[in-house]
Structure 1
Amino acid sequence: MQAPHITITYCRQCGWLLRTAWMAQEILTTFSEDIGAVTLVPGTGGIFTITCDGHLVWDRKSDGGFPDAKTLKTRLRNLVWPEKDLGHSDAGKDRT
């Protein structure tokens, strides 16, 4: 099985590069052994989306803002590695 490729498309006009880079760092740190790549794609018009192999993980407009690290990691885990334990991020919470 090929390792997943995550793409973060962000609005360069809105100045979201640093937020995007931080999210990429969180993804790479948590899933370092399992991930194929994280690609940052500059866009315009307020876009902020995260996809994994073409599957939408987060959309700023429909999900309402930006994900926190825990939410992002949980959504990615649930999509690609449902058996993976996220450690303290999973403590006391439902895995949905």
Structure 2
Amino acid sequence: MTAIEIEYCVPCGLLDRAIATQTRLLDEFGQKLDSVSLVPSHGGVFIVTVDGETIWDKSVHGAEMDMNLIVNAIDDRISVDA
């Protein structure tokens, strides 16, 4: 199964974005996931990792999050593991 972590900057106010991402992933993949964890951080970070592999990093991909890219990357990972 698959574990997802969403690391987000608390002082930047990214909690709402992290919760929205978590909700979307749980809606999309449900019981195919072991967990979708929120990890409070600082320094402007917003990073989504799947089983330790970074699939979205705000510092690399920019401030506008591409939820389709994230969903597709997770879907590819789940399909390979199945």
Residue identity in the other structure for 1:77: D
- Whose Rg is larger? 1
Q: Which runs of 4+ in 1 moved over 6 A?
A: none
1:52-91 pair list within 5 angstroms: 52-81=50-79
Partner residue in 1 for 2:47: 49
Residue identity in the other structure for 1:11: C
User: RMSD in angstroms over aligned alpha carbons?
Assistant: 1.8
Percent sequence identity over matched residues? 30
69-78 or 50-59, which moves further after superposition? 69-78
Partner residue in 2 for 1:10: 8
Q: Work out which structure has the larger RCO, using CA pairs closer than 8 Å and 6 or more positions apart in sequence.
A: 2
1:27-46 pair list within 5 angstroms: 27-46=25-44
Structure 2: runs of 5+ lacking an equivalent? none
The TM-score normalised by the length of structure 2 is: 0.89
Aligned length: 82
**Matched residues in 2 for 1:4 and 1:55: separation?**
11
